[in-house]
Homo-oligomer: A and B are copies of this chain.
């Protein structure tokens, strides 16, 4: 019989910080674990798996509410997985869009930085471009 690990150990193993673990418990994303006599949380393997799942999903940029849904799906594996797929696809669309706009933005910033001759502010391209959107390559950001 394993006694489970402390919150600090769970944090080390999952890569989720201690206060964040407590926060996840508070918002009912993670079930409240058993407590020791001295009122300390201790986590079992199932909790650690759930925590790893959450962390991985957060790294992939899923919002907490999306993760809540995904966890519910995981807990009820007998249903069709259309919902999980839809969530992942929506996230993929967001990411693609975000990459597009960041790439446009990168071009603007590169032009700015290149144009700056390290002179005085009054002739600085950075300030100038920021003042006047018409100087941008792509007008759509």
Contact = CB atoms under 8 A, between A and B. Distances in A.
B102 A106 contact: no
A18 interface: no
B118 A92 contact: no
A81 B119 contact: yes
Contacts of A99: 99, 102-103, 106
Number of chain copies forming the complex? 2
A98 B108 CA distance: 16
Contact of A73 (B80, B88, B127): B127
Closest 10 CB pairs of A and B: A77-B122, A81-B124, A92-B109, A77-B121, A84-B126, A81-B121, A85-B116, A88-B126, A95-B106, A73-B121
Interface of A: 49, 52-53, 56-57, 59-61, 70, 73-74, 76-82, 84-85, 87-89, 91-92, 95-96, 98-99, 102-103, 105-106, 108-110, 112-113, 116, 118-124, 126-127, 130-131, 133, 141
